[in-house]
């Protein structure tokens, strides 16, 4: 709702307000960290080089480091000089005291409510005193009656803008309706008192300018400007000092980072219907730029996606109108929530559809199975194998597959929880969050395996790239480990890391054990030497989970085709996500 013309008007009138009121302190926010220890270390490092370093909690588990408090004009000069000298990050910006909570640096300090300090820069030389004419006096501010008359000239949108700015300043909690009732008047009076104006409850023209300037100060340095993308058929405000156009990859126009702010803007534009919209919604959630955590909502003709992790926040807003799907995505650094939120508001309010959509043929010749329209698909940290042990879909796998994972999935998209984790023996039991219907369930061999007998292992050798498990054949070299461990079997077999956690079967289809990761002895072994954890150990782990393992007398060999069907039917991809 706040138009660019208002921003220009604010700048023009700000100097008038300076003569009428004492400046509030402002700060230069230079960094944010996701935990107190890291923030304290960074504050200590900055304090060794710069004066006036302070650290404050920002909320949401983030901690900010800021310089100040300074008068706004001094802060702008400090910001310019320090940026040009490279002593603070390029994405540092002017922040108000309302952005900060409890102070953590320096220890025991509390400077949020104190006045400004002298900036650590030479003062700007005063202009020489005129010898002929005295300077014109500053224009007097409006009386309450004059302010009320000028207020009547405001449009409803302009009155709503003022309520939004008062709400942002923390003095107004009512509805944004453009009606200046008791709640709005009280909010205006509180704001005036805070700024050092007479608390009349009626903002003068210059006071309205100061309020809006404060509200928009968080956008300083972003180069927010209207971009008209004829190919995408979209016109909107884009932070042109932060991102610039790179390429088209249907259905996206990519605007990538050009500054120290690691940001990305995507314009989304394609023809389609509701099915296309829903398909885009699903695809977007597989992309690396959309972290897993965060609210998301799909309606009949629109959707929103918010994804957050420790380093970034991604927000996507898309709608279907007249057979065209259009919208945008903004990826922004985490810990800069106030500026990100304001930026999203400005972009959405300025969003306009013009003729045209990105053609389906738009894009480069770059092709890769882990790319969609030039964007990386979200990939797990690692993937291993596992196998079903009951008809409800319970899975046995290697402990390596679930180590320090934020999230564990079966076959890429089925959420699972760790029911039992036995690190000592290297086994984990997983239970899916939704009921499954496995094609085959493991049955543990009741027969004593014979040395040098043929065995087979099933697993996702290439960690899910092929989309189906592979079979690897070999022989049983020993029923003990190299040091005589009774719970290990030594195999003559060539496997890959992704096979770990998969079942090892005898020729009759009975499960002899679970294939272990390669590094079991702490030393490099010859090619073709692998180990499996014995079935007795696996059965014991299952009993810890309150389950009874199924058995089978597998002394009679079965057809290799049937063996492969049984082995691959019970094998599942287990993925560990950060």
Q: Residues 268-312: pLDDT tens digits?
A: 999 999 999 998 998 898 888 998 889 999 999 999 999 998 889
Q: Are 337 and 396 members of one domain?
A: no
User: What pLDDT sits at residue 523?
Assistant: 61
- The answer on pLDDT for 518 being more than 90 is no
Q: Are 453 and 529 members of one domain?
A: yes
- The answer on pLDDT for 244 being more than 90 is yes
User: What pLDDT sits at residue 268?
Assistant: 95
Structure tokens at 255: 């605007």
- The answer on pLDDT for 372 being more than 80 is no
- The answer on pLDDT for 326 being more than 80 is yes
Q: Are 386 and 534 members of one domain?
A: yes
Alpha-carbon separation of residue 65 from 33, 57, 92, 115, 217 (angstroms): 8, 9, 10, 18, 18
Long-range contacts of 306-312, Cβ-Cβ distance < 8 Å, separation of 24 or more: 308/334, 309/334, 310/34, 310/334, 312/262
Q: Average of pLDDT values for 555-578?
A: 92
Into how many domains does the chain fold? 4
Q: Are 360 and 410 members of one domain?
A: no
- The answer on pLDDT for 184 being more than 90 is yes
**120-129, 136-145, 553-562: which has the minimum mean pLDDT?**
120-129
Helix (H, G, I), strand (E, B) or coil at 405: coil
Q: Could you tell me if 442 and 424 are in contact, meaning their C-beta atoms sit under 8 angstroms apart?
A: no
Domain of 491: which CATH number? Answer: 2.40.10.120
Domain presence at residue 296:
yes
| Whole-angstrom Cα Rg for the chain | 32
Q: Are 521 and 411 members of one domain?
A: yes
Residue 140: band (very low, low, confident or very high) from pLDDT cuts 50, 70, 90: low
Q: Are 234 and 357 members of one domain?
A: yes
Query: Please, which residues have CB within 8 angstroms of residue 106's CB and are 6 or more apart in sequence?
Result: 47, 53, 54
DSSP lists the bridge partners of residue 571 as 387
Domain boundary residue among 185, 219, 253?
219
User: What pLDDT sits at residue 20?
Assistant: 36
Structure tokens at 261: 């702010």
- The answer on pLDDT for 468 being more than 80 is yes
- Structural domain boundaries, residue 64: 26-105
Domain presence at residue 94:
yes
Residue 520: band (very low, low, confident or very high) from pLDDT cuts 50, 70, 90: low
Query: Please, which residues have CB within 8 angstroms of residue 543's CB and are 6 or more apart in sequence?
Result: 549
- Select the more confidently predicted residue: 569 or 121: 569
Phi and psi at residue 352, to the nearest 5°: -140, 140
Q: Average of pLDDT values for 113-136?
A: 59
User: What pLDDT sits at residue 364?
Assistant: 62
Alpha helices (H) along 306-431 = 337-350
- CA–CA gap between residue 236 and residue 234 (Å, rounded): 7
Residue 12: band (very low, low, confident or very high) from pLDDT cuts 50, 70, 90: very low
Q: Are 433 and 494 members of one domain?
A: yes
Q: Are 311 and 451 members of one domain?
A: no
**123-137, 225-239, 499-513: which has the minimum mean pLDDT?**
123-137
Structure tokens at 260: 């120290």
Q: Residues 227-239: pLDDT tens digits?
A: 999 999 999 999 9
**80-84, 118-122, 248-252: which has the minimum mean pLDDT?**
118-122
**427-436, 457-466, 520-529: which has the minimum mean pLDDT?**
520-529
User: What pLDDT sits at residue 445?
Assistant: 92
User: Inter-axis angle of helices 205-216 and 4-18, to 10 degrees?
Assistant: 120
Domain presence at residue 422:
yes
Domain boundary residue among 375, 398, 423?
375
- The answer on pLDDT for 141 being more than 80 is no
Q: Could you tell me if 573 and 383 are in contact, meaning their C-beta atoms sit under 8 angstroms apart?
A: yes
- SS3 per residue for 48-100: CCCCCEEEEEEECCEEEEEEEEECHHHHHHHHHHHHHHCCCCCCCEEEEHHHC
Domain presence at residue 114:
no
User: What pLDDT sits at residue 9?
Assistant: 36
User: What pLDDT sits at residue 7?
Assistant: 37
Q: Are 266 and 322 members of one domain?
A: yes
- The answer on pLDDT for 378 being more than 80 is no
**460-464, 512-516, 533-537: which has the minimum mean pLDDT?**
460-464
- CA–CA gap between residue 388 and residue 436 (Å, rounded): 10
Domain presence at residue 124:
no
Domain presence at residue 116:
no
Domain of 57: which CATH number? Answer: 3.30.70
Q: Are 358 and 285 members of one domain?
A: yes
Q: Average of pLDDT values for 131-137?
A: 45
For 43, how many CA atoms within 13 A lie in the half-sphere containing its CB? 25
Between the two ends of the chain, the Cα-to-Cα distance in Å is 38
Domain presence at residue 130:
no
Q: Residues 58-104: pLDDT tens digits?
A: 887 889 999 999 988 888 888 888 887 888 887 788 888 888 889 99
Domain boundary residue among 375, 399, 424?
375
Q: Residues 205-227: pLDDT tens digits?
A: 999 999 998 888 888 889 999 99
- CA–CA gap between residue 6 and residue 19 (Å, rounded): 21
Q: Residues 35-48: pLDDT tens digits?
A: 888 899 999 999 98
- CA–CA gap between residue 298 and residue 276 (Å, rounded): 13
Q: What is the largest CA-CA distance in the chain?
A: 115
pTM: 0.61
Q: Residues 164-174: pLDDT tens digits?
A: 999 988 899 99
Domain presence at residue 48:
yes
Q: Are 184 and 320 members of one domain?
A: no
- The answer on pLDDT for 11 being more than 60 is no
Q: Are 395 and 504 members of one domain?
A: yes
Structure tokens at 67: 């310089």
* Nearest CA-CA partner of 158 in 1, 284, 38: 1
Residue 332: band (very low, low, confident or very high) from pLDDT cuts 50, 70, 90: very high
Q: Residues 13-36: pLDDT tens digits?
A: 334 344 334 457 889 999 988 888
């Amino acid at each position: 709702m706040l138009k660019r013309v208002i921003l220009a008007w604010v700048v023009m009138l700000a100097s008038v307000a300076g003569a009428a009121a004492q400046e509030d302190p402002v700060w230069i926010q230079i960094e944010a960290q996701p935990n107190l220890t890291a923030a304290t270390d960074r504050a200590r490092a900055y304090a060794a080089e710069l004066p006036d370093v302070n650290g404050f909690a920002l909320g949401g588990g983030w901690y900010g480091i800021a310089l100040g408090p300074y008068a706004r004009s001094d802060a702008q000069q400090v910001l310019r000089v320090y940026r040009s000298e490279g002593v603070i990050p390029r994405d540092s910006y002017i922040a108000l005291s309302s952005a900060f909570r409890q102070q953590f640096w320096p220890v025991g300090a509390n400077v949020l409510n104190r006045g400004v300090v002298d900036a650590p820069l030479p003062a700007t030389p005063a202009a020489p005193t005129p010898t002929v004419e005295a300077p014109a006096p500053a224009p007097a501010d409006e009386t309450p009656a004059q302010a009320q008359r000028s207020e009547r000239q405001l449009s409803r949108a302009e009155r709503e803008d003022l309520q939004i700015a008062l709400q942002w300043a923390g003095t107004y909690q009512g509805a944004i309706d453009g009606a200046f009732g008791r709640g709005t008047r009280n909010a205006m009076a509180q704001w005036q008192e805070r700024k050092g104006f007479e608390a009349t409850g009626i903002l003068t023209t210059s006071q309205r300018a100061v309020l809006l300037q404060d509200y928009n100060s968080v956008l300083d340095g972003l180069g927010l400007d209207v971009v008209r993308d004829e190919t995408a058929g979209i016109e909107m405000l884009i932070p042109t000092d932060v991102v610039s156009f790179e390429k088209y990859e249907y259905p996206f126009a990519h605007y990538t980072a050009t500054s120290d702010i690691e940001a990305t803007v995507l314009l989304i534009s394609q023809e389609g219907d509701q099915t296309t919209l829903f398909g885009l919604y699903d695809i977007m959630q597989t992309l690396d730029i959309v972290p897993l955590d965060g609210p998301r909502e799909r309606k009949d003709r629109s959707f929103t996606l918010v994804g957050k992790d420790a380093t970034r926040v991604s927000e996507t807003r898309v709608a279907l109108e007249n057979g065209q799907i259009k919208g945008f995505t903004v990826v922004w650094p985490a810990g800069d929530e106030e500026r990100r939120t304001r930026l999203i508001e400005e972009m959405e309010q300025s969003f306009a559809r013009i003729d045209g959509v990105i053609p389906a043929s738009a894009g480069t010749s770059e092709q890769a199975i882990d790319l969609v329209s030039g964007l990386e698909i979200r990939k797990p940290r690692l993937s291993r194998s596992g196998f079903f042990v009951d008809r409800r879909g319970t899975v046995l796998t290697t402990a390596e597959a679930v180590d320090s994972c934020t999230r564990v999935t079966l076959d890429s998209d089925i959420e699972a929880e760790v029911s039992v984790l036995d690190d000592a023996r290297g086994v984990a039991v997983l239970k899916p969050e939704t009921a499954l219907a496995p094609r085959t369930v493991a049955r543990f061999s009741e027969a004593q395996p014979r040395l040098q007998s043929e065995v087979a292992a099933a697993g996702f050798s290439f960690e899910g790239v092929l989309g189906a498990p592979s079979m690897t054949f070999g022989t049983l070299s020993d029923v003990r480990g190299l040091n005589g461990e009774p719970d290990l079997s030594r195999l003559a077999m060539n496997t890959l890391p992704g096979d770990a956690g998969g079942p090892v079967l005898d020729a009759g289809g009975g499960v002899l054990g679970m294939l272990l990761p390669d590094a079991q002895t702490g030393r490099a072994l010859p090619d073709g030497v692998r180990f499996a954890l014995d079935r007795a150990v696996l059965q014991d782990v299952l009993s810890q989970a309150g389950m009874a393992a199924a058995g089978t007398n597998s002394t009679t060999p079965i057809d290799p085709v049937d063996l492969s069907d049984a082995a691959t039917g019970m094998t599942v991809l287990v993925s560990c996500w950060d």
